[in-house]
Structure 1
Amino acid sequence: MLLPPRLCLLFILLLASVGRAAPAPVPVPTGNPLTVYFFDVGQGDAALVVSPAGKTVLIDGGPPEAGPRLVSRLRQLVHAPLDLVLLTHPHLDHLGSMRDAIQAVGAKRFMDPGFDHPSAAYRDLLEFVGQEVGQVMTASPNPQTPHTFLTIGLGEGVQLTLYWPRHPLEPFLKDTRSDANSNSIVARLSYGKTSFLFTGDAEPDTEQALLQKKVLLSSTVLKVAHHGGRHASTAPFLAAVKPQTAVISCGANNEYGHPNPEVLERLKDVGTRLFRTDQQGEIKAVSNGTTVTFQAERGPAEPPQREWTKDLTREPSPPPPERPAVAAPPETPRYVSLKGSEVFHREDCATLKRAKTKERKIYTRRADAARERRAAEDCHP
């Protein structure tokens, strides 16, 4: 890493306590609620935790274009430096506006997985927080108690338990579909009988590692991994989490095709109520320690489909005369990538028709497109 070694012990003394994955049940307090704001930052993630004791944790910072909105909401909700800023992993759609957020309200501590990544934006952020934030550390467990998980106390019985990664006590996941995603911080926020599971962009490899550890995954609310991408939220993982409610943070008409229909179906199969920032804007979840209530900024972006019925009282119109078939010349498929995008699509993909940007790159061969970008999940080029 670019920064000096990060001292987890100092962090524990000032903010956290080390606990087991499944601590003894805490009494349900009768005071202030626990509130989690899932911000509408477009195609990215950003959530703010406000504990009953007033402790604040910002989990991810959305993409760069979300900066003005994120800063505005933080200034409305946070009136002292953030107690903790947690970056789940070093991708731009999670860290792009984090510097703006810290500059706007301040931060006492910063934590990330400690997984090195060549991104210039990530390295710039590390340099910034190293200069501007009091403590910079990774989510490393206490080496003196290697069989426990790092647990951060937020006051009045609220705890944030960090399940993954556990480097250097355990190696990072390697040779996965995306090592940066696979080593996302996975954390469970608990308050009385309620809980929230934050998964960053965790991959199936991450989910399998957690299932093998037999950690307490059951949660009232699940922040769905990777914006509802098809590679996460596997059926075995959802069966263990058993979320009553799930929140997907993604951009409207995004070019990645998030959320994936297969993931939506898997969430439906486990009886999960769903909220989406692309359809309902900012989602506010409030826990009194026993139940969690939700408030959405707006209703669904599109009305439900009407059910059309055929008029059987009229005679069917005669079919038009058939025209002689003319063989069409074979067309060579083309592939398209939008400016600044990491994926490529088929030229006839519906996402391209909805895209606001007109700057795009055309590939006549799929192999050329695949060398520079990865295939989009919506049209599977």
Structure 2
Amino acid sequence: MALPPRLCLLFILLLASVGLAAPAPAPPGKPLTVHFFDVGQGDAALVISPTGKTVLIDGGPPEAGPRLVERLRQLVHAPLDLVILTHPHLDHLGSMRDAIQAVGARRFMDPAFDHPSAAYRDLLEFVGQEVGQVMTASPNPKAPSTFLTIGLGEGVQLTLYWPRHPLEPFLKDTRSDANSNSIVARLSYGKTSFLFTGDAEPDTEQALLQRSLPLASTVLKVAHHGGRHSSTAPFLAAVKPQAAVISCGANNEYGHPNPEALERLAGVGARIFRTDLQGDIQATSDGTTVTFQTGRPAPPAKPAPPPERPAATAAPEAPRYISLKGSQVFHREDCATLKRAKTKERKIYTRRADALRERRAAEDCHP
């Protein structure tokens, strides 16, 4: 099956540019909105720029189709300006066809990482027939040190950090090569920014760190649904997210998000939002700050368990005092002298006062 042609530049509708140009100051009263949809165990996010440009990043699993279509029809009133598939896994592409059929799309981007998935091949065939332009995240080959940057109007820019194929080879022999070559993109508006990571692996994070990129971001879309392998400590130290959004399904079989990943996110001071607990998450930037709205409030934190009471212990037995037959002194019951004594006849006192009335305290054990 022939794959659709892939182009590397966007036209004027998206104000495409190449490079890392500094974003213009955000004008007041024109928000940038990012909707992180609750699609179960998968990812789907919609960017709406201040000028109304729309970018759908991933399409969730197949079962999310009706929900995703409903939300897109509520929010999008013209064909999507760009659809990005971060990588060819079903939990990110499963409902993308439904989304495009529902509202349309002008352009489609994916990593062009070869994958044997039939669902992925079917999606590419559909996109080739229904979407006018198909492209990759690769920068202009005439400026290989730059990154493809897409302008969305009013100073909003979407910069594609990874992958950079064919200028740079795909990551190979990783824990998951498809995940490791996820599209990683940073959306900036004024002083605020969002970092989208797909299902990036530690290898991806290391590759980004080696390039000394401007990774610091106000909001991090957490990689791989909060799995334990991603969101490494060095990567989070570079991103410094104030908020972290985890897209995952309630009670999913993978145990996402992983407690270790949550601990690392909390360790950098990120406020954590989760679609499995809070439903749809809407982040709105005015260019200076980002505010959040959720589909439902976060469940109250579980109260800390009461401190354990020390196990009840039996009251210690009252000490006993022993005097050997014919002796004028008494000893503690555990005195070594008693253990060495040959005579077995002894008198036992349960109270020291009683022993003192008849004997004196031995000097070896000071009872």
Give the TM-score normalised by structure 2.
0.82
Equivalent runs, 1:1-381 vs 2, <5 Å: 2-9=2-9, 11-21=10-20, 23-301=21-299, 304-308=302-306
CA distance in 1, matches of 2:23, 2:5: 34
Give the direction of change, closer, same or farther, for the CA distance of 1:14–1:79 in structure 2 (3 Å limit).
Answer: closer
Q: CA deviation at 1:19?
A: 3.5
Deviates most, 24-33 or 144-153: 24-33
Structure 1 unaligned spans of 5+: 319-381
Q: Displacement of 1:5 after TM fit? A: 3.2
Shift of 1:3: 1.6
| Structure 1 stretches of at least 4 aligned residues deviating more than 4 Å after TM superposition | 309-312, 315-318
- Please tell me whether the aligned partners of residues 24 and 154 of structure 2 are also in contact (alpha carbons under 8 angstroms): no
Offset at residue 12 of structure 1 (A)? 4.4
Percent of aligned pairs with the same residue? 80
Query: Does the Cα contact within 8 Å between 2:191 and 2:288 map onto a contact in 1?
Result: yes
- Asked whether the 8 Å contact 1:88–1:185 carries over to 2, the reply is yes
Amino acid at match of 1:64: P
Does the CA contact (< 8 Å) of 2:107 and 2:134 recur in 1? yes
- 1:277 Cα deviation (Å)? 0.5
CA distance in 2, matches of 1:31, 1:303: 35
Q: Give 5+ residue unaligned stretches, structure 2.
A: 315-367
| Superimposed CA distance per residue, residues 197-216 of structure 1 (whole angstroms, 9 cap, x where no aligned partner) | 00000001100111001111
Structure 1 Cα separation of the partners of residues 213 and 77 of structure 2: 35
In structure 2, C-alpha distance between the alignment counterparts of 1:176 and 1:106, rounded to whole Å: 35
> Secondary structure of the residue that 2:153 maps to in structure 1?
coil
Match of 1:279, as an amino acid? L
Q: Distance in 1 between matches of 2:313 and 2:301?
A: 31
Aligned partner letter, 1:8: C
Aligned equivalents of 2:186, 2:301: Cα separation in 1: 34
Provide the rounded CA distance (Å) in 2 between the counterparts of 1:200 and 1:303.
28
**Distance apart, 1:317 and its partner CA:** 11
- 1:15-41 deviations in whole A, cap 9, x for unaligned? 2433334x3242221131000000000
1:3 aligned partner, one-letter code: L
Is the contact between residue 5 and residue 134 of structure 2 (CA under 8 Å) also seen in structure 1? no
Which amino acid is the alignment partner of residue 179 of structure 1?
D
| Contact persistence 1:12–1:152 (CA under 8 A) | no
CA drift at 1:74: 0.4
Q: Which residue of 2 aligns with 1:366?
A: none
The superposition leaves residues 225-245 of structure 1 with CA deviations (integer Å, 9 ceiling, x where unpaired) of 000001110000000000000
Amino acid at match of 2:5: P
The total of aligned residue pairs comes to 314
Contact 2:30 2:286 in 1 (8 A): yes
Distance 1:196 1:138 in 2: 20
Task: For 1:226 and 1:295, locate their aligned partners in 2 and report how far apart those are by CA, in whole Å.
Answer: 22
Asked if structure 1 preserves the Cα contact closer than 8 Å seen for 2:14 and 2:151, the reply is yes
The residue aligned with 2:320 is none
Secondary structure of the residue that 1:211 maps to in structure 2?
helix
CA contact (8 A) 2:188 2:194 kept: yes
RMSD: 1.8
Distance 2:169 2:308 in 1: 61
Aligned equivalent of 1:347: none
What's the CA shift for 1:316?
6.0
Secondary structure of 1:37 counterpart: strand
CA distance, structure 2, for counterparts of residue 212 and residue 3 of structure 1: 33
What amino acid maps onto 2:22 in structure 1?
Answer: A
Contact 2:23/2:156 (8 A) holds in 1: no
Please tell me whether Structure 1 or Structure 2 has the larger radius of gyration of its CA atoms: 2
Q: Give the whole-Å Cα distance in 1 for the aligned partners of 2:168 and 2:22.
A: 25
Q: CA separation in 2, counterparts of 1:304 and 1:167?
A: 46
Distance between the aligned counterparts of 2:117 and 2:160, measured in 1? 24
Please tell me whether the aligned partners of residues 34 and 51 of structure 1 are also in contact (alpha carbons under 8 angstroms).
Answer: yes
Counterpart CA distance in 2 for 1:133 and 1:301 is 41
User: Structure 1 length normalisation: TM-score?
Assistant: 0.79
d(CA) in 2 for partners of 1:33 and 1:212?
Answer: 33
